[in-house]
Amino acid sequence: MEEQKTTTGKTSQNYVSAHGRRKEASARVRLFKGKGDNLINSKPMSTFFPSVVSQIRLNKVFELTRTSGKYYATVTVKGSGKNSQLEAVIHGLARALATVEGLRSIVKKAGMLTRDARVKERRKYGLAQKARKGKQSPKR
């Protein structure tokens, strides 16, 4: 891991940074070595994503790579909805862990490095309210 400098010029802790994306959600992940709390937008993961299913999906990244006690992350996530933010965080964590200790093959086999590029289709002019819905024409 390389040493990063803060804006004041002092060196901070060593960390690996990565970005995760899904739809309009974007997550900046900083992965630190050692024990600590995983934070998302300065809140614990369990309060930001309170559902049990979300927490299982988040911890799955650390469980697959067997790094649950070795690393902790601070995440800043913006945009879209909660589910897309969750997937963006998972993508960012997987990318950060892939650069550490040769864990890339494990994370890639689990399909966590692939960015889900499906986004909402834009509305076209001349149509009704939706992207593909046409205007109704008279029958006679």
Q: What is the pLDDT of residues 123-132, one digit of tens each?
A: 999 888 899 9
Confidence of residue 138 (pLDDT cuts 50, 70, 90): confident
Give the position of tokens 């109704």.
Answer: 136
User: In the chain, which ranges are continuous DSSP H helix?
Assistant: 45-48, 52-65, 82-98, 104-109
Mean pLDDT of 26-51: 94
Rounded CA-CA distance 94/103 in Å is 9
Give residue-wise pLDDT tens across range 69-119: 899 999 999 999 999 999 999 999 999 999 987 889 999 999 999 999 999
Structure confidence at residue 96 (pLDDT)? 94
Taking domain 15-109, whether its CATH number is 1.10.357.10 is answered by no
Structure token pair of residue 40: 């998302």
Q: Is a pLDDT exceeding 50 seen at residue 122?
A: yes
> What pTM, to 2 d.p., does this model score?
0.82
Structure confidence at residue 12 (pLDDT)? 55
Give residue-wise pLDDT tens across range 9-34: 444 568 999 999 999 999 999 999 99
Structure confidence at residue 11 (pLDDT)? 46
